[in-house]
Amino acid sequence: MINKNYQNDSMDNLDTRLISLLRHDGRRSVSDLATDLKVSRATVRSRLEKLIETGEILGFTAVLRDDWRDLPIRAVTLVHVDGRNTDPVSKALAAMTEVRAIHSTNGKWDLVLEIATRDLEAFDNALHRIRLIQGIAGTETNILLSTRKGPAISADHFKDALG
C-alpha cells in the first residue's frame, strides 16, 4: 500500500534511473546498480529502502516461463457494471483463476480485467462465465497478440526455451 504522506514528486532523477534499471532486471545486485548509476552501494541501498518504505516500490516478482507457456492466450476485458454492483462483481471475478488482475477505471467501462488461459476453448469458457455474473451489463474483450513492452520480460525472450 502506498504511504499517503509520500509525494511522488519527491523522487529525483536518481530514483527514476534506479527504478528503470530494476524494471529491466529486478535481480541486479546492489553493486551492479551502483556501478551503472555511478553512486556508492550505500546510496543505492538507502534509495531502495526509501522507495520500498514509501510504497513507490510495492515489491519484486518473478515472471515464470510457465505463465507464458501454459497460459498463452491473454486478453483485456472491459466490463460495464450495472448500478452499484462493483463490489460483488469484483468478488465473483476475483474467484476466477483465469482473471489475473482486476483494475477499476473511469469512463464508459467500470473494470478492466487481465485474463490468461491455456487455449481458446478455456478462454471462451471464461468469457461465458464472466458474462453470466449478475451485475455485469456488458463486456468488450481484446485478445493480446504480442507484448512489445511489459512489466518485466516479454514472451519473445522465452521462444528458445519453449521450443
Domain boundaries, the chain: 9-53, 65-143
> Fold identical between 9-53 and 65-143?
no
Looking at residue 147, its pLDDT comes to: 77
The CATH number of the domain covering residues in 65-143: 3.30.70.920
What number is the average pLDDT over the span 145-158?
60
User: Residue 9's pLDDT band (boundaries 50, 70, 90)?
Assistant: low
Confidence check: pLDDT of 7 > 70: no
According to CATH, the topology of domain 9-53 is Arc Repressor Mutant, subunit A (1.10.10)
Looking at residue 158, its pLDDT comes to: 43
12 vs 141, which has greater pLDDT?
A: 141
Q: Is pTM beyond 0.75 here?
A: no
What number is the average pLDDT over the span 26-34?
91
Confidence check: pLDDT of 38 > 50: yes
Looking at residue 64, its pLDDT comes to: 63
Q: Output the DSSP codes for the chain.
A: ---TT--GGG--HHHHHHHHHHHH-TT--HHHHHHHHTS-HHHHHHHHHHHHHTTSS-------HHHHHH--EEEEEEEEEPTT-HHHHHHHHHT-TTEEEEEE--SS-SEEEEEEESSHHHHHHHHHHHHTSTTEEEEEEEE----SS-SS--GGGGHHHH-
Looking at residue 122, its pLDDT comes to: 93
Render pLDDT for 86-135 as a digit per residue (tens, 0 to 9): 999 999 999 998 999 999 999 999 999 999 998 999 999 999 999 999 99
